[in-house]
Structure 1
């Protein structure tokens, strides 16, 4: 086994340990010591690759959701938004997702970096899907789509954070229908 493969396996063990620890306890009780013990590595090994436990949560969440938010450009914008919001609800309701929400609230600089590295590329994909929907004559071209996206994703976070409730398929379908009404092309 090469050194690169060993490093990759160690990192994977550490990220798996983060997930396992969060299955049993919340973010406030998560410690690097516990993660190291679960992964069978020393704390120094963890600190070689991650500066803070929040970085571990970000990476574990990214890995957990690596292909979850892929869009299907053959399907309509409405279909994709419904699917994406359902998957987001499930991801944020997972212990890693809940920890991520805490980290983003407590560590603004780290949250900004996560936004730039992880969320912005996904939002850019959604913008491409919006452009494709315009070209397909599904939706009108002249609309504040950034505001539309915020309006779609905000309620998901709100339901999970403030009501401790995972939005179900009906809630998400109604939300997408409501937000899509002003942009649909009337035929």
Structure 2
């Protein structure tokens, strides 16, 4: 086993320990000592890679959601949006997602880095999907798409943060339909 494989395996054990700990208690109770004990590593191993538990939570979320937000360019824009919003709701409703929301609210610099490194590339993928949808004739090209994306993703965060409820499938489908209505190409009569 190479050193990179050993490092990857240790980090996976640490991420799993974070998930287990956050399944039992809230972010503010999370300690590096507990994570180290659960992962079977020393605290120094964790501190070698992460300066603070907040950074560890961000990386755990990244690892936990590594491929769930991938788009399927063979599907319609509507199908992709429903899939994305459903997976976002599930990820944010997970204990690691809830901890991520706490981290982002309390650590502005980390939130900015997370946006730049994790969320912005996914938003760029969504813009590529929007462009493809324009080329397919699904939607018009003269629309404020950044506003449209904010309008789609905002209610998911709102429901989870303020109402402590995961949006159900009917809510997500209705939201996507409502937001896409003004941008859809009108059928010729």
Measured against the shorter chain, the TM-score band is: over 0.9
The CA distance in 2 between the partners of 1:47 and 1:16, in whole Å, is 16
The CA distance in 2 between the partners of 1:106 and 1:10, in whole Å, is 28
CA shift at 1:41, angstroms?
1.1
TM-score scaled by length of structure 2: 0.97
In structure 1, the residue matched to 2:47 is 47
The CA distance in 1 between the partners of 2:101 and 2:68, in whole Å, is 18
In structure 2, the residue matched to 1:13 is 13
The CA distance in 2 between the partners of 1:44 and 1:136, in whole Å, is 53
The CA distance in 2 between the partners of 1:8 and 1:90, in whole Å, is 25
The CA distance in 1 between the partners of 2:73 and 2:8, in whole Å, is 32
CA shift at 1:182, angstroms?
0.7
In structure 1, the residue matched to 2:160 is 160
In structure 2, the residue matched to 1:75 is 75
In structure 2, the residue matched to 1:97 is 97
Mind listing any 5+ residue stretches in structure 1 that lack a counterpart? none
In structure 2, the residue matched to 1:182 is 182
Aligned length: 187
TM-score scaled by length of structure 1: 0.98
The CA distance in 1 between the partners of 2:149 and 2:129, in whole Å, is 12
Q: CA RMSD in A?
A: 0.7
Deviates more, 1:125-134 or 1:35-44: 35-44
